[in-house]
Amino acid sequence: MKNRSFDLTEMDLPKELKSMSYEECAKLAQVIRKKLITTVSKNGGHLSSNLGTVELTISLHRVFDSPKDKIVWDVGHQAYTHKLLTGRADKFNTIRTEGGLSGFTRPDESEHDAFVSGHSSTSISAALGIATAMKLKKDKHHTIAVLGDGALTGGESFEGLNNAGKSGTNLIIVLNYNEMSISKNVGATAKYLSTLRTKESYHKTKTAVEKVLDSTPVVGAPIKKVVRGSKNVIKDMIIHSTMFEDLGFEFVGPIDGHNIEELDEGLCAAKALGVPTVVLVNTQKGHGYPPAEANPGGYHGVGAFDLSTGNPDVVSEDSFSAIFGKKLLDIAYKDKRICAITAAMKFGTGLQYFHRALPDRFFDVGIAEQHAVTFAAGLAAGGMIPVFAVYSTFLQRSYDQLIHDLAIMDTHAVIGVDRAGIVGEDGETHQGIFDIPYLTTIPNMTIYSPSNNPELEMCLEKALLEDKGICAVRYPRGADEVRTDNRTASVDVVTHCNGSEMCILTYGRLYNEALTAQKRLLNEKEISIDIIKPVKIFPIEDSLIETLKGYKKVFIFEECYRNGSIGEKIAAKGIDCDLSAINGFVKHGKTNDLLDELGLSSFRMTEKIMRYLNEKA
């Protein structure tokens, strides 16, 4: 080993990787793992998946020439090592903090990030697009999609596979098989892949079988003959080794994903083939960090954690998600029609309680939000009451199914819209700011936005047992922070009125901010302002509009995209209102900081109202 610096910020990366010995690569992997663990322990983020892809990423950058070759990471949260190896080591300690590196890949952050990613199962389609553009331009470089087995449960991956096989492009799909999607791996594909995982390398076995046939002269010929007679059955069987080959790909693997030599060999083979190829790589999530190896699920997406005990902070017992999950279980004990569905987010949505207690009525469908909604509609057609708990941002995948499979027949189903509003450190791809705009475009839709735990429980119960049609109950990431003495409990409208001529209209988590603003205005400025807080926010009741007509000025604050917001709908009904909503995509940062920047904190509410009064005066 020559005198090589292993300081990531000083190395000439990714170029220098190509000249490194396997021994040096192993040392670099160690350095990277240490960096990952210390950084994620401070900043939070995805640990297990990144620890699992250290060697794979090193090998990708040894075998290919990024950014000329394009690497597309599915759900970019597995790309931390990629960031460290592509000129971002010096800023790595800023990851997921405001103004710092994103926790996902972003083309505007680095030319090495070939595509934006955050939602699952898009990498094959995106990479096929990039590879096709290269083909049209006669550019011979490669495009590599890297996805985990979890991403393969999303239908878009299959749509991509179905189109990629025949594309004649230099596309390589690296399937990182780590035996775990976000909560657990689901479905037949997982089972099938686990068979592949334990198979001998395909090329080895194929050769072995051919050898057997050739080395048995008495046998070989007659079998081959019979086989030909019966439509090449055995030939089919020999060639037909994997589902991916059925879909038109060359297949390489399985490869030990922590052995850089084997990885280099496999990726070089795929590169040499020059046709769409699937490379199956076995990795271990959390590799190299014992607490994460033992409990990779706990380390999927973590807040900052204690490095010594490795205690992760996934979903707290008092979070809205947990309250939702527990209340749902309570009601489901009494009503046997209730079924719970998650798309690979059992822990994130608080459905682990339901799963443990009522496994027969619990369904983890994988990262398959489209199927989840149509499946729910099928359950409802069979007389059940389905509840799909899903993050606001991921429910975007189900838009057509909500309309076509639920709304047209006015089918009764409940959607638990988790992570509604600003989610913080995960940034643009994960903010839950579109659910109100898109859900309100769907007929037969009711939307609740409770502010605190008792309201969440009441809304869920009403949605399940009293309402009809589609009922969305939306709640933010985090826990109820309303002071106990302010804990209203209504499914309609809550008011805090003193007879002012002005009012704040808000709902959900921002109610807290409004209460603080109201107090501050009264105590510091002797200004009185009313608060109107609908809990059922849609459809907008005529009575709410009548109430608002009694005010000279209505200030509306909403944690959602402005186009299609509740405020826009209220304004359209002739109410003179000042709308504060979100103007576009919101980058990563701390939720409270972001709310403040977006003009939605109590401070900014106060400021806005004061400015109005000053201008008027």
Largest CA distance in the chain: 105
* 50, 66, 122, 170: which one binds its own copies (CB under 8 A): 122
Site for its own copies in 294-313 (CB under 8 A): none
CB burial class (10 A; 0-12, 13-18, 19+) of residue 531?
Answer: buried
Tell me whether residue 197 is one of the annotated catalytic residues.
no
* 4, 100, 158, 520: which one binds its own copies (CB under 8 A): 158
Distance (Å, whole) CA 426 – CA 264 = 32
Site for its own copies in 82-111 (CB under 8 A): 106-108
Report in angstroms the alpha-carbon separations of 89 from 5, 56, 57, 63. Answer: 14, 18, 14, 21
Q: Per CB under 8 A, which region of 85-93, 322-330, 435-443, 513-521 contacts its own copies?
A: 435-443
Nearer to its own copies (CB atom), residue 105 or residue 500: 105
Distance (Å, whole) CA 60 – CA 615 = 60
- In 3D space, the residue among 546, 458, 445, 539 whose CA is nearest the CA of residue 495 turns out to be 546
Tell me whether residue 327 is one of the annotated catalytic residues.
no
Give 249's contacts (C-beta < 8 A, 6+ positions apart): 161, 164, 165, 173, 276, 277, 278
- In 3D space, the residue among 448, 440, 350 whose CA is nearest the CA of residue 399 turns out to be 440
CB burial class (10 A; 0-12, 13-18, 19+) of residue 22?
Answer: exposed
Active-site position among 285, 346, 462, 474: 285
Site for its own copies in 548-587 (CB under 8 A): 561, 563-564, 568-569, 571-574, 576, 584-585
Active-site position among 369, 425, 558, 559: 369
Nearer to its own copies (CB atom), residue 208 or residue 294: 208
Active-site position among 62, 106, 327, 397: 397
Q: Sheet containing 171-177: give its strands across.
A: 70-73, 143-148, 171-177, 277-282, 250-256
Q: Per CB under 8 A, which region of 81-89, 214-222, 307-315, 510-518 contacts its own copies?
A: 214-222
Nearer to its own copies (CB atom), residue 159 or residue 293: 159
Site for its own copies in 464-523 (CB under 8 A): none
Can residue 129 be called a binding residue for its own copies (CB under 8 A)? Answer: yes
First to last CA, the chain: 76
Nearer to its own copies (CB atom), residue 17 or residue 384: 384
Nearer to its own copies (CB atom), residue 123 or residue 601: 123
Site for its own copies in 365-384 (CB under 8 A): 365-366, 368, 370-371, 374-384
Distance (Å, whole) CA 274 – CA 276 = 7
Run of H or E including 146:
strand 143-148
Report, in Å, the least distance between residue 137 CB and its own copies: 7
Q: Per CB under 8 A, which region of 22-30, 32-40, 184-192, 608-616 contacts its own copies?
A: 184-192
Q: For 540, which DSSP code?
A: P
**Quick one: how far is CA 218 from the chain centroid?**
57
Q: How many residues are there in the chain?
A: 617
Can residue 281 be called a binding residue for its own copies (CB under 8 A)? Answer: no
Run of H or E including 118:
none
Nearer to its own copies (CB atom), residue 158 or residue 603: 158
The site map against its own copies for 226-265 (x = CB under 8 A) is xx--xx-xx-xxx-xx-x--xxxx----------------
DSSP string over 188-234: HHHHHHHHHHHSPPHHHHHHHHHHHHHH-HHHHHHHHHHHHHTTTHH
Nearer to its own copies (CB atom), residue 563 or residue 592: 563
Can residue 339 be called a binding residue for its own copies (CB under 8 A)? Answer: yes
Can residue 125 be called a binding residue for its own copies (CB under 8 A)? Answer: yes
Report, in Å, the least distance between residue 428 CB and its own copies: 5
The site map against its own copies for 587-616 (x = CB under 8 A) is ------------------------------
Q: Which residues does the annotation mark as catalytic?
A: 285, 369, 397
